[in-house]
Structure 1
Amino acid sequence: MSTNKFIGGKFATGALLIAAGLLGASLQAQAAAIITINNMNAPGVGFNDPTPVDPVGGNTGTTLGEQRLIAFTHAANIWGATLTSNQPIVINAQFTDLACTATSATLGSAGATSIFRNFPNAPKANTWYSYALANKIAGAYQGTAGAAQINANFNAKLGKTGCLDGTFFYLGLDSNHGTNIDFVVTLLHEMGHGVGFQTFTNGSTGAQNGGFPAIWDHYLMGTATGKLWKDMTNAERQASALSGDKLVWTGPLTNAAAPQVLRAGVPALNVSGSQAGATAGAHPVGEASFGPALTATPITGAIMPVVTATGALDLACEPVTGLNAIAVRNNIALVSRGTCGFTVKVKNLQNAGAKAVLVADNAPGTVTGLGGSDPTVTIPSVRITQADGAALLAALSKRTRTTSAVYASLALDMTRYAGTDAAGRLLMFAPNPFQGGSSVSHFDTSATRNLLMEPAISADLTQSPMVPQDLTFKLLQDIGW
């Protein structure tokens, strides 16, 4: 059974009982549910790292390993105060070397150690439940009493050369992580997977585990077919996992709470004009994390491409000059993704006089946002699919040097909440191509505010899985917590 990965990028407590720095030490968070953390690291590494450190952000530990354990117990206390179960939740946890590059990293991975169906009090017959949830519903341990229900790993290489260089886990308990990664938030995310925020169906093949659906699949629906995942064929599930904005959550508690958490308004691009042809109408876009946000008031203008000498879309990684500068002035520029950062492209077009920017993807797939940060960017920008970029470039073939008969309107669609479909259902993460460990078992990245159980960490996440900060606990309630 695969685990779920948390990828770096976009992403009343009970008693605190601490026994840090010892091989095999167990920590217990006690509230509405008792959570026990088994430290699986060997002496001298991970949770037993003896490196001296100063206390930080309410974390009083004096070694790196001790601070890591205190942060873990703090996160466990948050979940312990949120969940209810008369059976202890046991987590085997360790720091290990996980995948990373200089610019991205797998922060952690976690999942249920076992799954169960047809246990006492099971609400759905012939349906898989995570170990911890099965114990809660049955009111008794399934399998071996006291066995760990969750296995969790965290990246021991984070911050070292070649692993998200210069970025570290912040071990304070006060959310004051700055440009580093809040370890408590990472822990909350991974524990969320462990208690059941995941499907046990194979999203890449569509095959159900042992021929039975997960409880997750009773609430996951593909709008292209109108079927729940439990009722689809393998091929239908496989296609649904790649369907972008056509995979939704039908759980009533989550969807009813969405307006209390999510922003009203979804970014929208509408294309019109006498030369628009097949491009006329609405197109999905991804928001930029920099520059001014879109509002309900549309930004309109002629679309003008920045092109190379051969007529292909340009990357706009260098200052825009000559005919391209004339073309984009006071218009909405169309450029290609690639080579340089999004902020570089948009700043170059801003300097050339463009009023907004459409960045066409350079590979097939579903649309996502534009990452980056530059406070000097003052024009809006959005990302569009490679297919939409190619279609727009073809429609612009009859443009003049300064205008076209293809027009764009960029605004927020105020009839929807960011991260939902037109029917108000939460969108789930279904990118094309499939992302193993991330697809299907996360909220979609279009959600605003950012949610704890998106596939990538975001700097603005809080240490709460509950409304009004988050929808994670509502989804867990939908499946039986």
Structure 2
Amino acid sequence: MTTNKYALLSAAALAAAAFVGQAQAAATIVINNINAAGVGFNDATPAAPIGGNSGTTLGQQRLIAFTHAANIWGATLTSSQPIVINAQFTALTCTASSATLGSAGATSVFRDFANAPKSGTWYSYALANKLSGSYLGTANAAQINARFNVNLGNTGCLDGTRWYLGLDGNHGTDIDFVVTLLHEMGHGIGFQTFTNGSTGAFLSDGVNGYPAAWDHYLTDASTGLTWAQSTASQRAASALSVDKLVWNGPIVNNEIPNVLRQGNPGLIVSGAASGASAGNYAVGEASFGPALSTTPLVGQIMPVVTSTGTLDLACNALTGNSALAVKNNIALVSRGTCGFAIKVKNAQNAGAIGVLIADNAPGAPAGMSGTDPTITIPSVRIEQATGVKLLTALAKRSRTSSGVVATLGIVGTRYSGADAQGRMMMYAPATFASGSSVSHFDTTATRNLLMEPAISGDLTHNVIPPYDLTFRLLQEIGW
């Protein structure tokens, strides 16, 4: 079954377990805690109440946060059938600088049931139940499997970052568990395609393949075809098209002006020493630090380099000539090894007024994920080729000056995260990312959206405009 990663998500079949609680409003959401005693949602480690969460153990606080998030979705959705979620904390992929926060997906899909809006089309379990007005499959079977990373905050798993279990959004440098829960439940109730993005193959019933509800709206801007109309090879190419995969549905796209920022980030390189690097460039924005604005940041570019003259990763504190170079200038560093926010914070600590992070692989610049409320300078991601051009132009610099000037700001009238025709862009990086590609909004969206592939520190606990487009997309497919 297709599953989706968040900040980097996948679910296997989970065993049935005891009923724990439910959130009830326009839709009833039932949470099945399937953790063993003393683990995850049953962790008895004492915990002080925090941010409106009154639990006194770690497990209690996790369940209270889950119920809070379920109440938000329950008040937004409408269904006569309960939405049952099997949930657990377990070990998920981690490194010291990145982590899979959670994963979720529908346990089953259905087609051609009573009241199905489109024939020959797969719908997620919870949505199929809502549309049919009956409980399809086995009565009271879970429609969603959800897992969350039990090791977050431990040494070797996104070091220095923990789950924030408060209900007030004041997570600081930690990961807001409520936001993660809202994201994962979004996937489970239908924010995903069941078509294989890597091969383009429709999900098969064992005899024939059929499109997902999503595929009637996912559109390749270069061919003008929806995924339901395309061949498998066309769909596979579309999933790698970077900025050509769009959502062609009126409910979502009509709301874009109410949610997304008008204007896109851009870099202008100029100055007496800019040479062949002079020109205008598209950039990827950071989810942390101050947003770019129509009042541009202007400064000289100074690279941070290694002993061999290549761009440095800036994963450690900048000292000596590196610190001298970036002070009061815009630092140029390389992507890789550590998180984007770490690089920017190191440059900020050395006195930089902004940061350009050159990609370490070819492709259009995407956004930069990360969370650090102490970052006060803007930063952007640039293409690998742009970084090479700049480093060549900067070869004749002094220790404190380069004569190569960067102007960073917001330009134009196109909405950030939409294409030139005003259609919402979907996540289609040049290298396929299993569990992330296709079934998320594109990372160029500003404001940041709940259903982007990586978490952002400025997300709220809202799923509707003017804060978010998630529920509008779910309405498009039948909610």
CA RMSD across the alignment:
3.3
Match of 2:50 in 1: 56
Measured in 1, the distance between the counterparts of 2:303 and 2:171 equals 40
Measured in 1, the distance between the counterparts of 2:23 and 2:306 equals 60
Measured in 2, the distance between the counterparts of 1:471 and 1:442 equals 11
Is 1:86 the counterpart of 2:63? The answer is: no
Report how far residue 165 of structure 1 moved.
2.7
Report the secondary structure of 1:236's partner residue.
helix
Say if 1:365 and 1:348 are closer, same or farther in 2 by CA, change over 3 A. farther
Match of 2:343 in 1: 342
- 8 Å CA contact 2:356–2:380 kept in 1: the answer is yes
Say if 1:263 and 1:235 are closer, same or farther in 2 by CA, change over 3 A. same
Between the two proteins, the alignment pairs up a number of residues equal to 459
Match of 1:152 in 2: 146
Report how far residue 467 of structure 1 moved.
1.4
Amino acid at match of 2:34: M
Match of 1:296 in 2: 294
Measured in 1, the distance between the counterparts of 2:395 and 2:154 equals 52
Cα deviation digits, residues 331-356 of structure 1 (max 9, x gap): 876554356743267448856xxx76
- 8 Å CA contact 1:349–1:357 kept in 2: the answer is no
Report how far residue 117 of structure 1 moved.
1.1
- 8 Å CA contact 2:162–2:175 kept in 1: the answer is yes
Cα deviation digits, residues 263-314 of structure 1 (max 9, x gap): 2221023567999999776532012456654322455678786777876556
Report the secondary structure of 1:111's partner residue.
strand
Report how far residue 366 of structure 1 moved.
3.6
Measured in 1, the distance between the counterparts of 2:94 and 2:407 equals 39
Alignment of 1:426-465 (within 5 A): 426-465=424-463
Match of 1:140 in 2: 134
Is 1:390 the counterpart of 2:391? The answer is: no
Cα deviation digits, residues 381-403 of structure 1 (max 9, x gap): 42111133335556x49989877
Match of 1:28 in 2: 22
Alignment of 1:202-241 (within 5 A): 202-210=196-204, 211-241=209-239
Measured in 2, the distance between the counterparts of 1:59 and 1:291 equals 28
Report the secondary structure of 2:203's partner residue.
coil
Match of 1:256 in 2: 254
Report how far residue 42 of structure 1 moved.
2.0
Say if 1:319 and 1:74 are closer, same or farther in 2 by CA, change over 3 A. closer
Report how far residue 105 of structure 1 moved.
1.6
Say if 1:337 and 1:172 are closer, same or farther in 2 by CA, change over 3 A. closer
Match of residue 415, structure 1, among 409, 413, 416: 413
Measured in 1, the distance between the counterparts of 2:327 and 2:18 equals 65
Say if 1:280 and 1:227 are closer, same or farther in 2 by CA, change over 3 A. farther
Amino acid at match of 2:123: Y
Match of residue 173, structure 1, among 167, 170, 173: 167
Say if 1:6 and 1:303 are closer, same or farther in 2 by CA, change over 3 A. closer
Say if 1:301 and 1:227 are closer, same or farther in 2 by CA, change over 3 A. farther
- 8 Å CA contact 1:222–1:228 kept in 2: the answer is yes
Report the secondary structure of 1:245's partner residue.
coil
Measured in 2, the distance between the counterparts of 1:164 and 1:311 equals 30
Structure 2: gaps (5+ residues): 10-16
Say if 1:342 and 1:313 are closer, same or farther in 2 by CA, change over 3 A. same
Say if 1:425 and 1:273 are closer, same or farther in 2 by CA, change over 3 A. farther
Report how far residue 200 of structure 1 moved.
0.4
Say if 1:165 and 1:124 are closer, same or farther in 2 by CA, change over 3 A. same
Match of residue 77, structure 1, among 71, 78, 85: 71
Measured in 1, the distance between the counterparts of 2:374 and 2:48 equals 33
Say if 1:398 and 1:152 are closer, same or farther in 2 by CA, change over 3 A. closer
Bigger mean CA deviation after superposition, 57-66 or 184-193? 57-66
Q: Percent identity?
A: 65
Say if 1:301 and 1:376 are closer, same or farther in 2 by CA, change over 3 A. closer
Bigger mean CA deviation after superposition, 174-183 or 249-258? 174-183
Say if 1:410 and 1:160 are closer, same or farther in 2 by CA, change over 3 A. closer
Say if 1:233 and 1:409 are closer, same or farther in 2 by CA, change over 3 A. farther
Measured in 2, the distance between the counterparts of 1:172 and 1:300 equals 39
Q: TM-score, normalised by structure 2?
A: 0.84
Measured in 1, the distance between the counterparts of 2:289 and 2:165 equals 31
Amino acid at match of 1:3: T
Match of 2:4 in 1: 4
Alignment of 1:29-48 (within 5 A): 29-48=23-42
Match of 1:15 in 2: none
Q: TM-score, normalised by structure 1?
A: 0.84
Match of 2:478 in 1: 480
- 8 Å CA contact 1:207–1:234 kept in 2: the answer is yes
Say if 1:44 and 1:290 are closer, same or farther in 2 by CA, change over 3 A. closer
Match of residue 244, structure 1, among 242, 249, 255: 242
Amino acid at match of 2:179: V
Report the secondary structure of 1:410's partner residue.
strand
- 8 Å CA contact 1:289–1:373 kept in 2: the answer is no
- 8 Å CA contact 2:32–2:86 kept in 1: the answer is yes
- 8 Å CA contact 1:443–1:454 kept in 2: the answer is yes
Match of 1:164 in 2: 158
Report how far residue 319 of structure 1 moved.
5.3
Match of 1:16 in 2: none
Report how far residue 149 of structure 1 moved.
0.8
